[in-house]
Amino acid sequence: MSKKIVYAIVLLAAVVAPFVGYPVFLMKLLCFGLFACAFNLLIGYAGLLSFGHAAFFGGAGYVSGYVLTTLGLPFELGILLGVLAAALLGLVMGALAIRRQGIYFAMITLALAQMVYFSALRAPFTHGEDGLQGIPRGRLLGTLDLGSDLTLYYVVLAVSAAGFALIVRTIHSPFGQVLSAIKENEPRAISLGYDVDRYKLLAFVLSAALAGLAGALKAVVLGFETLTDVHWTMSGLVILMTLVGGMGTLAGPILGAFLVVALENKLGDLGNFLAGATHVEWFASLGESVGIVTGLIFVACVLLFRRGIVGELAHAYSRRRA
Amino acid sequence: MNITAIALAASAALSLPAQAQVSGDTIKIGMITDLSGVYADVDGNGGAEAVRMAIADMGGAINGKKIEFVVADHQNKPDIAASRAREWFDQQGVDMLIGGTNSGASLAMAKVAREKKKVFIAIGSGTAQLTNEQCSPYTVHYAYDTVALARGTGATMVKQGGKSWYFLTADYAFGQSLEKDTTDVVKANGGSVLGSVRHPLSASDFSSFLLQAQGAKAQVLGLANAGGDFINAVKAANEFGLTKKIKVAGLLVFINDIHTLGLNTTQGLYLTDGWYWDQNDASRAWAKRYFAKMKKQPSMLQAADYSAATNYLNAVKTLGSDDADKVMAQLKKTRINDMFTKNGEIRPDGRMVYDMYLMQVKTPKESKGAWDYYKVVATIPGTQAYTTKAETKCVLWK
Amino acid sequence: MELFGVPLPALLSQLLLGLVNGSFYAMLSLGLAVIFGLLNVINFAHGALYMMGAFAAFIGVTSFGLNYWAMLVLAPLAVGLFGILVERAMLRRLYRLDHLYGLLLTFGITLLLEGLFRSIYGVSGQTLDVPDMLAGATDLGFMILPNYRAWVVAASLAVCLATWFVIEKTSLGATLRAGTENPKLVEAFGVNVPRMVMLTYGFGVALAGLAGVLAAPVINVTPLMGSNLIIVVFAVVVIGGMGSILGAILTGLGLGVIEGLTRVWYPEASEVVVFVVMVIVLLLRPAGLFGKEK
């Protein structure tokens, strides 16, 4: 009963949000939320730490950006091609990385992502450091003009909600159960006769595709795509989002993404606000310290809040009930 | 799942402070430049200060409407510049955006300004694309561009006997534009280009790039970079003994670079500049005020920041409105006559055309003190320095 | 004279320069290998600590008027001390967990350190002058080599060999290696294992700090200098075999040279070649070139 009310509240908030806040910022939140959820599918439910997810996020953004700008394809096709590109990349990277475990797996994903980064740096169509600019929004299905921030917001909301729903369905499906089993105890899963590598690869590709969806959407929303999205610090950022929110929880990564993105964008505003309110001039320079604050949160989470915000809350709630 | 609801509400609340009123009662100028990186010295905070001086000289208000100013650091990342510009236009009611250094960032900001129909004055960046292939009815390109630099320094070096060239290029819009424009000039003057090597922006070590240049055995090493990159490239060239075998051509050099490297290293260097603090009484007077605040002499960019802001505000004052289309029309029909230049005009393609100078760095003996670094070798009329109507690909100027 | 279509001077000069870069890789990956081999911690903060060493040298020379040689000793000590603090206060709590948490913690520390230095110094570079004794250059015929770069190669090789010797050939090293394989047993012998671990971490990061001091006069000292390097160093350590000291040294030097050679024929690829090598090695020899499967 209460779950339905919660869903209703969330839906209402999401529908009303663009009238209260800045639509472009909200869309950015949604895209990163989807990205973090896609990453969480891999780490939280399959137990695989990928240090190269930026390759899918930025790679899809570049592919979509290119086909929308230079080839003039319609919006849906552009996004679809981006997702397919990410899935393909995920297949290749996954096939190479799955053979190893733990830290070696992470290192291979990192190395392969670096190769994607350098391809993005060198390929003429990405314009290297200058980035791919002027990505058009076009029309949805040839009819709905996406130029208005409001219209685009609802489209992005619908797509990311669909992506999130897909993740939820996957986790609760038999496939998801096997993944949990593999994460829990791989040798046992193998002894039960499951082709462990195939499951891991499938999870990897799915995670990559959804990360690509997030990246492609973001490219259209902001109208550009730059190297920042394929750099390894972006891979680190999505790990942070998932860690802060709670690995292995459903809503955790979304919250983590919202917090981290809000932090990056609004720390300066918060600092100015605090400086004005308290007349302490030092607060005004807070905007420059995004890296420090992010680092502090990272360290605090690893040391103290390993389950992340949602994880810790869920743990505390279940302990109280027990 | 409760948490998600709270998270969404929190995020909505977090985005609230950014919702400022749209300007109608203030004239808001925004400036996005490199405040902390390789180009921080030649524009950066000094440039922001110059704009503040312009606003103060206007009395801080026009016809009772307050003039506001916001500055941001794009860290040489076009995505930060474009996002910030979009947010400022949408949420903060910025009427005019000044683009600082970094051509990639400026191209991105010009696109946003065009979409939002707001005035964009590119001052720090060099790529001539801003008024050529990517010209826009809302872009003004002030101070200098890569074509003028090529036609100044490039032509001079070729005429002096530097026939074969090799480029060390910063691998982004500015370096690529500068290399292309200088290559055109070198070839037009009977020279040849043996090759080029690209380096990333703010490269940490130039040794391997310079060794590649050394292998080519050209007469001139064209440095298609600026600021910190230029300084480091020159230092490394000295360290590896390259300067004894090859002539170094600094294609974009600012007075701050000479100050850092010293006259011993840079004496005799040719450079194209649009403004020098010691060029006439008006420039000296303004430079003195700037020096009092910043303790260094201003570069061409910082002087241009002041001049552009002043001319914009004057246009707004004359029209009594900050409507972008009206202001652009006004700017394009007003002559610019101030401490920056005596005969500047803004063409239909957005290019501000004025006389440039070919300078040479003085020897330590010729210099009478700190910041006395240049002597004027020649004046290049604006019509010769910049892209002509016959050459342009800009649709606004046909 | 040409070799494969490339003039010999060009080839030799890039090779030599590659060797210089390789010495940095060797020293940094040595520190990483020591820490991983003996502590099982993947020290992502290695790049940031290298940066700290460079900045310590810069601050020492410009603000305190000390000379380069003093900083060559003091900066690694300062960085090592900082490392000891980090180990004691934070890293120690994560040993019983999956060693990926150590990676994440040190990643967070990297962000912290870089953010801190960035807020003080911005991202533009500071420069440190080459000490007088090492200034000047030698004309080798095919290129002019600044003397300082030759010193870098010599110093790193000396430090790397000394470290390898201590760990592999002395009884102190034997105790260290025993301590990681079976801490309980070594403790039973009366050795204070936690203290040994702490000092080892301090030593590993001191190596990074030393690399920073060596780098300061040639490379732009910026807060981001470490993050540009750390990924490559990781690749080096993985290729060499994550716990192998000798593997780290040899692979570091070797990859520096390979990078230099790539620059001669295909300059753009020099940035990726390390990663391509890493993928190939990991697919063929999963534990790295010199590593042992654990």
Hey, are the CB atoms on A21 and B3 less than 8 Å from each other? Answer: no
Give the chain B residue nearest A124 (alpha carbons).
B172
A255 touches chain B (CB under 8 A): yes
**A78-112: b or e for each residue (b if 16 or more CB lie within 10 Å)?**
bbbbbbebbbbbbbebbebbbebeebbbbbbbbbb
**How confident is residue B211, by pLDDT bands cut at 50, 70 and 90?**
confident
The chains found to touch A (3+ Cβ pairs under 8 angstroms) are B, C
The residues in A 218-237 lying below 8 A from B, measured between CB atoms, are 222-224, 226, 228
Cβ neighbourhood burial of C177 (10 Å; 0-12, 13-18, 19+): middle
Residue C7 has its nearest CB partner, among B36, B204, B215, at B215
**How confident is residue A251, by pLDDT bands cut at 50, 70 and 90?**
confident
Q: In C, which residues are within 8 Å of A111 by CB distance? A: 235, 238, 275, 278-279
Hey, are the CB atoms on A291 and C111 less than 8 Å from each other? Answer: yes
Residue C100 pLDDT > 50: yes
Q: What is the mean pLDDT of residues C46-50?
A: 95
Contact in structure between A134 and A223 (CB atoms under 8 Å): yes
Quick one: pLDDT at residue B191? 93
**How confident is residue A208, by pLDDT bands cut at 50, 70 and 90?**
very high
B36: closest CA of chain C, how far (Å): 5
Quick one: pLDDT at residue B364? 92
Q: In A, which residues are within 8 Å of B8 by CB distance? A: 10, 13-14, 17, 258
Give the chain A residue nearest C86 (alpha carbons).
A299
Cα dihedral: B91, B93, B97, B102 (round 10): -10
Give the chain B residue nearest C264 (alpha carbons).
B212
A35-44: per-residue pLDDT in tens? 999 999 999 8
Quick one: pLDDT at residue B20? 32
Closest CA to A302 of C69, B235, C94, C77: C94
Quick one: pLDDT at residue B145? 92
3-state secondary structure of B26: strand
- The three state secondary structure string of chain A is CHHHHHHHHHHHHHHHHHHHCCHHHHHHHHHHHHHHHHHHHHHHHCCCCCCCCHHHHHHHHHHHHHHHHCCCCCHHHHHHHHHHHHHHHHHHHHHHHCCCCHHHHHHHHHHHHHHHHHHHHHCHHHCHHHCECCCCCCEECCCEECCCHHHHHHHHHHHHHHHHHHHHHHHHCHHHHHHHHHHHCHHHHHHCCCCHHHHHHHHHHHHHHHHHHHHHHHHHHHCCECHHHHCHHHHHHHHHHHHHHCCCCCCHHHHHHHHHHHHHHHHHHHHHHHHHHHCCHHHHHHHHHHHHHHHHHHHHHHHCCCCHHHHHHHHHHHHHHC
Residue C160 pLDDT > 50: yes
Contact in structure between A79 and A216 (CB atoms under 8 Å): yes
Residue C115 has its nearest CB partner, among A106, A295, A301, at A295
> How do strand B164-170 and strand B220-224 relate by DSSP bridges?
parallel
What the block records as the tokens of B385 is 């320095």
Of C54 and C279, the one with more pLDDT: C54
A149-188: per-residue pLDDT in tens? 899 999 999 999 999 999 999 999 999 999 999 988 889 9
Lowest mean pLDDT across B261-270, C5-14, C16-25, C223-232: C5-14
pTM of the prediction?
A: 0.89
Hey, are the CB atoms on C143 and B40 less than 8 Å from each other? Answer: no
Contact in structure between C288 and C281 (CB atoms under 8 Å): yes
Residue B9 has its nearest CB partner, among A13, A259, A309, at A13
Lowest mean pLDDT across B17-21, B150-154, C38-42, C121-125: B17-21
Phi first, then psi: give them for residue A249, nearest 5 degrees. Answer: -105, 160
H-run or E-run covering C252: helix C245-265
DSSP code of residue B336: B
Q: C86 vs A61, B122, C231, CA distance in Å?
A: 38, 47, 21
Give the chain A residue nearest B102 (alpha carbons).
A130
A70-74, A212-216, B197-201: which has the highest mean pLDDT?
A212-216
Q: DSSP letters of B131-168?
A: GTTT--TTEEE-S--HHHHIIIIIHHHHHTT--EEEEE
B290-340: per-residue pLDDT in tens? 999 999 999 999 999 999 999 999 999 999 888 899 999 999 999 999 999
Contact in structure between C21 and C211 (CB atoms under 8 Å): no
Give the chain C residue nearest A287 (alpha carbons).
C119
Residue B10 pLDDT > 60: no
Of B86 and C189, the one with more pLDDT: B86
d(CA B362, CA A239): 55
What ipTM was assigned to the predicted interfaces of this complex? 0.85
Residue B18 pLDDT > 50: no
Q: B41 vs B327, B340, C250, CA distance in Å?
A: 30, 19, 42
Closest CA to C116 of A288, B202, A148, B397: A288
Hey, are the CB atoms on C124 and B232 less than 8 Å from each other? Answer: no
Residue B21 pLDDT > 50: no
Q: C2 vs B242, C7, C92, CA distance in Å?
A: 22, 4, 56
Closest CA to A59 of A135, A124, A119, A106: A119
d(CA A240, CA A236): 6
H-run or E-run covering B257: helix B255-261
Give the chain A residue nearest B92 (alpha carbons).
A22
**How confident is residue C292, by pLDDT bands cut at 50, 70 and 90?**
low
Quick one: pLDDT at residue A322? 66
Q: B310 vs A2, B60, B245, B340, CA distance in Å?
A: 61, 11, 46, 11
Residue C177 pLDDT > 60: yes
Quick one: pLDDT at residue A11? 84
Contact in structure between A311 and A319 (CB atoms under 8 Å): no
Quick one: pLDDT at residue B129? 93
C65-76: per-residue pLDDT in tens? 888 888 999 999
Residue A202 pLDDT > 70: yes
Residue B228 has its nearest CB partner, among C17, C124, C137, at C124
What the block records as the tokens of A249 is 């929880």
A124: closest CA of chain C, how far (Å): 13
Residue A130 has its nearest CB partner, among B9, B87, B107, at B107
The chains found to touch C (3+ Cβ pairs under 8 angstroms) are A, B
What the block records as the tokens of C165 is 């010797």
B93-147: per-residue pLDDT in tens? 999 999 999 999 999 999 999 999 999 999 999 999 999 999 999 999 999 999 9
Give the chain C residue nearest B196 (alpha carbons).
C267
A66-121: per-residue pLDDT in tens? 999 999 899 999 999 999 999 999 999 999 888 888 878 888 898 899 999 989 98
Quick one: pLDDT at residue C289? 85
Give the residue from B8, B39, B114 with the most A CB atoms within 10 Å of its CB, the best one to mutate: B8
Quick one: pLDDT at residue C4? 67
Hey, are the CB atoms on B232 and C122 less than 8 Å from each other? Answer: no
Which residues, including other chains, have CB under 8 Å from residue B293's CB and lie 6 or more apart?
B49, B53
B22 touches chain A (CB under 8 A): no
C20: closest CA of chain B, how far (Å): 11
Residue C138 pLDDT > 80: yes
Quick one: pLDDT at residue B19? 34
The residues in B 6-65 lying below 8 A from C, measured between CB atoms, are 35-38, 40-41
**How confident is residue B243, by pLDDT bands cut at 50, 70 and 90?**
confident
**How confident is residue C2, by pLDDT bands cut at 50, 70 and 90?**
low
Instruction: Tell me the average pLDDT of chain C.
Output: 86
Residue C196 pLDDT > 70: yes
d(CA B102, CA B226): 10
**How confident is residue C215, by pLDDT bands cut at 50, 70 and 90?**
very high
Lowest mean pLDDT across B9-18, B19-28, B210-219, C55-64: B9-18
H-run or E-run covering C209: helix C193-215
Residue C1 pLDDT > 70: no
Closest CA to A258 of A27, A83, A49: A27
Of B4 and B314, the one with more pLDDT: B314
d(CA B243, CA B237): 6
B170-193: per-residue pLDDT in tens? 999 999 999 999 999 999 999 999
What the block records as the tokens of B324 is 């972008």
A309 touches chain B (CB under 8 A): yes
| First CA to last CA distance, chain A | 22
B212 touches chain C (CB under 8 A): yes
Residue B5 pLDDT > 60: no
Which residues, including other chains, have CB under 8 Å from residue B175's CB and lie 6 or more apart?
B169, B198, B224, B225
Residue B17 pLDDT > 50: no
Q: In B, which residues are within 8 Å of C263 by CB distance? A: 208, 212
Which residues, including other chains, have CB under 8 Å from residue B355's CB and lie 6 or more apart?
B341, B343, B379, B380, B381, B382, B385
Q: What is the mean pLDDT of residues A16-41?
A: 92
Give the chain C residue nearest B235 (alpha carbons).
C218
d(CA C163, CA C249): 10
Q: How many CB pairs under 8 A join A and B?
A: 125
C8: closest CA of chain B, how far (Å): 10
A39: closest CA of chain C, how far (Å): 15
Phi first, then psi: give them for residue C3, nearest 5 degrees. Answer: -130, 115
C2: closest CA of chain A, how far (Å): 29
C42 touches chain A (CB under 8 A): yes
Residue A65 pLDDT > 60: yes
A179-188, A239-248, B48-57: which has the highest mean pLDDT?
B48-57
Quick one: pLDDT at residue A19? 87
